[in-house]
Structure 1
């Protein structure tokens, strides 16, 4: 066929601008061909391993260990390579060295008579393991992961076998020289961390990094330094995001939870929040109050004196009363939140120490309210207002907190679709009949359901943090952020109310019941899961929903596997507070080229015992789905993107060959 200039122009007119831009990156036919060959080859590599974790709740030691041991994957890889040639004690020691190279090295070499010989054996073993775990990646991808100081050396060692006659001396000499010049320690640390990195290709956090446990800030530091991570916001995360935005009610609530669990180190040591004003105020106002209902629930290993516990209890009560007042302000400001039942301070008879709820009168367990004016119960006294302004300033000016929350916005979302899996923390609000619930948002009362609801809420949360030049929109966004923490139709919360006041002040259990969204009764039905898949544009035959939020009580016979494997709940109790209920200490979901596996973890004792006594987390793996044919990169979302790139490059190649674009 003869092409005229007009024919050529029509053939390429829609893509010409883009192809010209692409030609700058691949300026010759050879460049375009090389990249097509490269991308086509990548499509046939095994898919990378994805790890899914949920509800970490500040438990940084067990979280760090699960990342370091890749939920037991590293130990299995060591077994694959050396299972028949090393004793069990040697396998354990090698695994611990890979998990904690800096600390374990010192302990291991201390008792060695011939350290150089130990270095030589250990280096050979680590290189073999690294070669094994890197085998499913391209050299280019491995090269990008290599530590800068040893990049060239590791690459040479990974791609040369010591038993090849021509290169045997070359390979051995590299090992000898590393030891001779005193770089063996640094090399072992570098290659151990490379192994950790290569066994997990992508990390998914299904919400609730914050609260309850001792140091959520350390968990966030770890995530910020991780090579590939995404986060689906949980209601505890959204609370801290609101606090960092400047929402006073979110700030008070975050403070209250830290005090409730004796977890003030996250605030003081982690984020530099000055708690002296709160402590001073609490002692001045509640100094004569024992605050028995506000004694902290200590869940960390830190030991507090009686004096410290009494101070925390007073701080706890002081900030709780401020929180209840601020909640009243928001609910009054946003009547369409439909949370009038959460406004309770005006229902107290302050003289008699009782409260009238739902037409019944209940006696209060604590009736000391020195800062509440019965005529204006939701008004902050001047001292409370001054205190709140100081604390808010600390939150807004905490560089580390703002950096962490910025990361949550950059790498997080309400939900994520990834490789045929739908990831979200809590629920999709449903009616009792199993249809999507219509949720009215804003003064306009516009209705949203399903995916549209989550999309709209995410936009508003982002406006609450980023709309600094639009105070009205920012305030509304911050109020929505607080609503997502505990609102009746919040997909992150999933209950009709948060009975905080009732738990503190009223004995009657019926008032403390928090009714769950119908979603949690219906999640075991395949029809519901299929409806959700279709709503989010996923194939019901091949997709899974991955949830956190509600701890799975294994000891009571509950299963994390719902709807014949279509929905997986992976909150197994990382937080110590839940482990008595769940019977385990967390789940990891692993999705590799062979299929899906669910790993349950036993409680982690301590980092010190893991290093010194080689006490690993005991993990049990359940194979959920096994692929008949190993999944390839071409079967993933990244594969779809690569296929589009290949098509674009083939168009560019065609344009070069037809002279529409001049190749260099």
Structure 2
């Protein structure tokens, strides 16, 4: 007893703080009972998505339908009592309630009768979705305007005939006071929220597709989300931080794929200084024409201007890359300072002992003696762009969110999530990187990289620390064997200026061969202190080539790649439109999705994304909250509360009533 008493006295300061929330034995006991009950509930469902690349409509649809889970719930409740078309219509209503309500109102049907039937159906679906959660957790998710009413309707006892009229009157009153539509929207939103307990975005929200900004707005409203940064994400984070090389690369990517809408309209970046400079400087820029056809409203003159702007910003990018590489010999990328390798007399470049002519030789702003130096006009353009990026409130808001909810890797419920790779040598050893006088590898290097990436945005402006962090964000985007990029180099220069496709190859880190080996994957998990039999690595970044017979599951199930080509630009290589993964209390399910037709079709025709379960693994035993990270935290809290109980009972702390403070 003396030992326990002394231990409690040693912890008295902490226990006194805990006592503010649980001021007496009754309060502490009640909380212990509640927490013990939660431990015995099934774990919440986790939803994994990756490599969204700005495809906002497809992303929003899969988010709304929870990768088919909501349709499954509807089928479970109504398979025997409702036809397939009605079930599809109900699903479309849950996905897009406001839009679907407008369409139904225009159909001329008896809305009062439709409201009554639909409200009953939505309440039943909502009951099915929320059944595995505590009533307290569901209450916390309820919309404030309808909190009491929904709570009552979700907890109907089917055998209580005494309240049957009471519940029918609630629904009749909702219709009578013209709150049906608002109530339906609230129920639909609650169903979607409770279908997924945690959303994981395994990198690459930006680039290629039209509206990463729409995706980020929706993610910021999500109740529980984390993001494992992709290389395209850190590039935009660097641009928002004011990194000149990241800004130039962001603009290069956007122009290459005719995606200036995100730059000009979504974020309001002023491209006029660049347009004027490009028009005055370059007479012809056909080599730099966008890869994707311009939008219908573009004229040939617009197309020519974009090509010139693309050329201007790409030359600036190559110059800035040379400067970053010169500042950081530790990047080991001297061979990627491409402008320093050109023979300007013949306009040829030597790669691996072979000389190649450049497709364009008109570069009036490049000084062969000092090719990395920006001209005064180029510097003025970059100064204006830096100001525009750093003063864009919307971009800054999105970037703060990416830093707050994101990281290079995440350990969650026994799984290890990261976008790219753990840089490795061919023999499976982890590659080392020379930073701060040490050789860093494995988890230690990723922790360092995460910290330095944050420094690039948070350190004082114009400080050496901020510049070093910004340069490192560029390294994470495309640096040799960067853990987010995972390749030897990025062949932007070669693809644009050399005809020979053999120079375009980007050698992947050996990780992408080694990850087929179960022992290698298990060693990575141990490196990150994850050593459960069910643990897995969840990857994005490299699309799974389904057309060639490749599958998403590697190393006997220890690693799963969920990049299946969400972005339209990659679907010709993958043959599908993305993978998503679910991790529920029953097991793991991986779904392959076909391309999303359109939002209009989803509203008008009740079309859904065609999804096929490609992998379904049911656990031998159901997973409960007690088996999760949250469960471990709850167990720690229970242990602390039991100490508090002992402190009260042994007189070390004095119980209080609520009236006493």
Name the TM-score, length of structure 2 as normaliser. 0.97
Are 1:100 and 2:85 an aligned pair?
no
618, 630, 634: which is aligned to 2:622?
630
How far off is 1:357 after superposition?
3.1
CA distance in 2, matches of 1:336, 1:25: 51
Deviation at 1:542, TM superposition (A): 2.0
Match for residue 401 of structure 1? 395
Q: 1:598 aligns with which of 569, 575, 590?
A: 590
- The whole-number CA distance in structure 2 between the counterparts of 1:625 and 1:300 is 44
Match of 1:619 among 604, 611, 623: 611
2:372 matched to 1:372?
A: no
SS of match in other structure, 1:605 = coil
Find the counterpart in structure 2 of residue 488 from structure 1: 480
Q: How does 1:298-447 map to 2 (within 5 A)?
A: 298=292, 304-442=298-436, 444=437, 446-447=438-439
- Larger mean CA deviation between 413-422 and 301-310 belongs to 301-310
Q: What is residue 529 of structure 1 aligned with on the other side?
A: 521
Quote the Cα distance in structure 2 between the aligned partners of 1:256 and 1:470. Answer: 25
Higher mean C-alpha deviation, range 79-88 or range 157-166: 157-166
* CA-CA distance at 1:109 after TM superposition: 2.8
| 2:237 corresponds to 1:238 | no
1:163: how far off? 5.7
Is the Cα contact below 8 Å between 1:55 and 1:574 reproduced in 2? yes
Contact 1:294 1:314 in 2 (8 A): yes
Q: Deviations over 1:97-124 (max 9, x none)?
A: 0000000011123224321001000000
Choose 50-59 or 608-617, whichever is displaced more: 608-617
Deviation of the 1:368 alpha carbon: 1.1
Could you tell me how far apart the structure 1 residues matched to 2:548 and 2:3 are?
72
Q: Is residue 48–residue 593 contact of structure 1 (8 Å, CA) maintained in 2? A: yes
Mapped contact 1:294–1:316 kept (Cα < 8 A): yes
Structure 1 residue 351, shift from structure 2 partner: 4.1
Taking the aligned partners of 1:405 and 1:560, their CA distance within structure 2 comes to: 30
- Match of 1:625, SS state, is strand
Shift of 1:30: 0.9
Secondary structure of 1:373's counterpart equals coil
- The answer to whether the 8 Å contact 2:331/2:479 transfers is yes
Alignment of 1:25-104 (within 5 A): 25-104=21-100
Candidates 625, 632, 649, aligned match of 1:640: 632
Deviation for aligned residue 1:477: 1.0
Which residue of 115, 122, 145 maps to 2:118?
Answer: 122
CA 1:299 to 1:435, structure 2 compared with 1: closer, same or farther past 3 Å? Answer: farther
Q: Aligned-pair RMSD on alpha carbons?
A: 1.4
Identify if the C-alpha distance between structure 1 residues 136 and 293 changes in structure 2 by more than 3 Å, giving closer, same or farther.
same
Supply the distance in 1 between the matched residues of 2:118 and 2:287 (Cα, whole angstroms): 56
Counterpart contact for 1:213–1:300, Cα < 8 Å:
no
How far apart are residue 356 of structure 1 and its match? 2.9
**Residue 55 of structure 1: SS of its match in structure 2?**
coil
Count of residue pairs brought into register by the alignment: 656
1:142 corresponds to which of 138, 142, 145: 138
Deviation for aligned residue 1:440: 1.5
Distance 1:30 1:347 in 2: 76
CA distance in 1, matches of 2:632, 2:350: 60
Task: Say whether the 8 Å CA contact 1:296–1:313 is kept in structure 2.
Answer: yes
Matches for 1:174-253 after TM superposition, within 5 Å: 174-253=170-249
CA distance in 1, matches of 2:554, 2:506: 22
**Matches of 1:265 and 1:241, distance apart in 2:** 18
Paired residues for 1:531-610 under 5 Å = 531-539=523-531, 541-610=533-602
**Structure-2 separation of matches of 1:179 and 1:299:** 50
Shift of 1:360: 2.6
* TM, length-normalised to structure 1: 0.97
In the alignment, does 2:290 pair up with 1:296?
A: yes
Shift of 1:627: 1.4
**Equivalent residue, structure 2, for 1:22:** 18
Structure 2: stretches of 5+ with no match in the other structure: 657-661
CA deviations over 1:76-96 (Å, ceiling 9, x no partner): 000011110000110000000
Q: 2:510 aligns with which of 513, 518, 542?
A: 518
Q: What's the counterpart of residue 655 of structure 1?
A: 647
> Offset at 1:355?
2.2
CA shift, 1:165, in A, is: 0.9
Residues of 2 paired with 1:8 and 1:517: CA distance?
A: 54
| Partner SS, residue 13 of structure 1 | helix
**SS of residue matched to 1:231:** strand
Counterpart CA distance in 2 for 1:472 and 1:68 is: 44
Alignment of 1:165-176 (within 5 A): 165-176=161-172
Contact 1:161 1:168 in 2 (8 A): no
Asked whether the 8 Å contact 2:294–2:303 carries over to 1, the reply is: no
Name the CA distance, whole Å, in 2 between partners of 1:130 and 1:624: 25
Q: What is the DSSP-based 3-state SS (H/G/I as helix, E as strand, rest coil) of the residue aligned with 1:19?
A: helix
Cα displacement (A) at 1:469: 5.8
1:292-329 deviation line (CA, Å, top 9, x unaligned): 22111237976533222222111111100000000011
